[in-house]
Structure formats: C-alpha cells, structure tokens
C-alpha cells in the first residue's frame, strides 16, 4: 500500500516542550496538594510548609500553561473558569488546581473553617492528580494513551513529588518511594503488555513507541525498578525514581500524540 498527499493532514504535534514541563509541574502540584491534604487530615506539624509549596507549584504550573498557550493574551482566557464543562478533563484539572490553590492559601494563613478546606482539598487535589491521565486517556483515537495511563499517571505523579520530598529530607517520604516505584513499574509493564498484545493499532503503537524512544523508555523503567536496590544511597535514591517517572511520563505524552489513521 502506498499513500501520497496533496496538502497534508494536521498531524503535527499539538503539545510542545512547555507542555512536557506542565505535565511535570502538574504532577508535583497535584502530588503536593495530596500531601497537604493528608498533612491537614493528620495534623502534621509541617502542614503550612506543604500548603506553601503546593501554592508555589500551582502558580508555577499556571505560568507554564500561560506561556505555552497560543492564546496567551486573549482576555477570554478566563472564561475557562466561567464555563461548565465537567466532561472536559482540562476543565476538571483547572478547577482542581484552583480549588487546591485557594484551600492551600487558607491552610497556610490558618484562617477559616478547617473542615471546609479539608473537603475542598480532598476533591481538588484528587482532581489535580488524576486529570493529566484523564486528559490523555480521553482520546481513544491515540493508541498510546490507553486507559492504563489513568492509573499510571497519578502513580508516577505521586512518585515524582515524593522523590522530591525525599530530596528535601522529609523523613516520611522515604518509605513511600519503593512501593510507589514498584507500583509504577508494574503499571508500565501492564501498559506495555496491553499494547503489545492488543489489536493491530495497539501493536503499531507499541512499535512506534519503541522506535521513537524505546531505549529511553527502557531506561525510565530500569530507573524506577532499581529503586529498592539503591534506596540507601542518599540523593540518588530520590533522583533515580524522579528521573524514571519523568522520562516515562514525558515519552508517553510526546510520542503518544501520534495516531495511525488510514495508513
């Protein structure tokens, strides 16, 4: 079979490198919001610090989004918050992040009803953590964004933020790294198996992924898998899973923009 075109379909990548940064930051922001929530619920002494970190991350993420947006200066940008589109993952994410931002702010201030902030944070942080995977998995036409990413992304998102927490010498973080890494590795394997054993299109997608970053992908997987072995080495124990998770996430976002329509 041979295909030629007059003019080309719009197969260009629609998400560029700032989006990859966004995917990184949003994982951190969502994860931080989750940690803040837990800290609030468990009355952790450092809850104010976590709230502050959450706020900073959310703001950084929003700035990234703003820079990345081709509609940067359109006034109506704000309409995103006035519309009601609960079926749109980005709408959910936007609300999740803004609710988390507001709640974190009051937690940091230590003003207002704690129960309300806790409730808002539970919902907001969950949305913020889950929405990137949702935004990918919603596209049934892009074979690399399978439903498995719905679990893979929150897991690796948490792994990202916990690794950083570990790096920042938060004691409690250490014990979560290995379980999260191993769970992520398991999901990556489920993800790959799903592709390799799927239909024609899934197998093409698998080949495509392997052809466009297969080695990197393997590296990401190995980095997460060796976490139990290196968990005693300071700094490295945090950096290795962080790198692994980021590589895997970025590759799935970047390479997954392909669809195999009509070839």
Contacts with other proteins by CB under 8 A lie at 1-16, 69-77, 79-80, 83-85, 87-91, 94, 135, 138-142, 200-201, 204, 207-208, 211, 257-263
Nearer to other proteins, 44 or 212 (CB): 212
CB of 56 to other proteins, least distance (A): 23
Q: Please return the burial class of 82, using the count of CB atoms within 10 Å of its CB with bins 0-12, 13-18 and 19+.
A: exposed
CB of 257 to other proteins, least distance (A): 7
Nearest in space to 61 (alpha carbons), one of 86, 103, 88, 32:
32
CB atoms within 10 A of CB 11: 10
CB of 30 to other proteins, least distance (A): 17
Q: Collapsing DSSP states into helix, strand and coil, what is residue 94?
A: helix
Nearer to other proteins, 6 or 215 (CB): 6
d(CA 172, CA 195): 36
CB of 212 to other proteins, least distance (A): 9
Nearer to other proteins, 59 or 186 (CB): 59
Nearer to other proteins, 42 or 69 (CB): 69
Evaluate whether 252 touches 213 at the Cβ level (below 8 Å): no
Nearer to other proteins, 100 or 181 (CB): 100
Nearer to other proteins, 45 or 262 (CB): 262
CB of 258 to other proteins, least distance (A): 7
Evaluate whether 222 touches 258 at the Cβ level (below 8 Å): no
CB of 98 to other proteins, least distance (A): 12
The DSSP annotation for 186-229 comes to HHHHHHHHHHHTS-HHHHHHHHHHHHTTHHHHHHHHHHHHTHHH
CB of 261 to other proteins, least distance (A): 6
d(CA 134, CA 139): 9
d(CA 89, CA 182): 27
Q: What are phi and psi of 134, to 5 degrees?
A: -65, -40
Nearer to other proteins, 85 or 109 (CB): 85
Cβ neighbors of 153 (< 8 A, separation 6 or more) are 27, 130, 132, 133, 136, 249
């Amino acid at each position: 079979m041979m295909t030629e075109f007059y003019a080309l379909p719009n197969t260009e990548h629609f998400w560029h490198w700032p989006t990859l940064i966004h995917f990184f930051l949003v994982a951190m922001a969502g994860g931080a919001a989750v940690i803040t929530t837990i800290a609030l619920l468990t009355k952790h002494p450092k809850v104010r610090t976590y709230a502050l970190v959450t706020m900073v991350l959310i703001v950084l993420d929003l700035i990234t989004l703003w820079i990345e947006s081709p509609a940067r200066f359109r006034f109506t940008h704000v309409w995103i918050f006035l519309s009601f589109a609960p079926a749109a993952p980005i709408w959910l994410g936007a609300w999740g992040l803004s609710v988390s931002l507001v709640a974190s702010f009051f937690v940091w201030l230590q003003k207002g009803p704690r129960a309300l902030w806790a409730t808002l944070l539970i919902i907001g942080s969950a949305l913020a953590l889950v929405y990137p995977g949702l935004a990918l998995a919603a596209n049934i036409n892009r074979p690399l964004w399978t439903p498995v990413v719905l679990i893979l992304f929150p897991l690796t998102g948490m792994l990202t933020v916990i690794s950083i927490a570990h790096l920042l010498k938060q004691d409690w973080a250490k014990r979560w790294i290995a379980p999260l890494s191993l769970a992520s590795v398991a999901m990556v394997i489920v993800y790959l198996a799903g592709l390799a054993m799927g239909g024609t299109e899934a197998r093409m997608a698998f080949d495509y992924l392997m052809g466009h970053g297969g080695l990197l992908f393997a590296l990401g997987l190995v980095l997460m898998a060796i976490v139990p072995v290196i968990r005693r080495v300071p700094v490295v124990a945090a950096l290795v899973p962080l790198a692994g998770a980021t590589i895997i996430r970025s590759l799935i976002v970047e390479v997954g923009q392909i669809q195999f329509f009509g070839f």
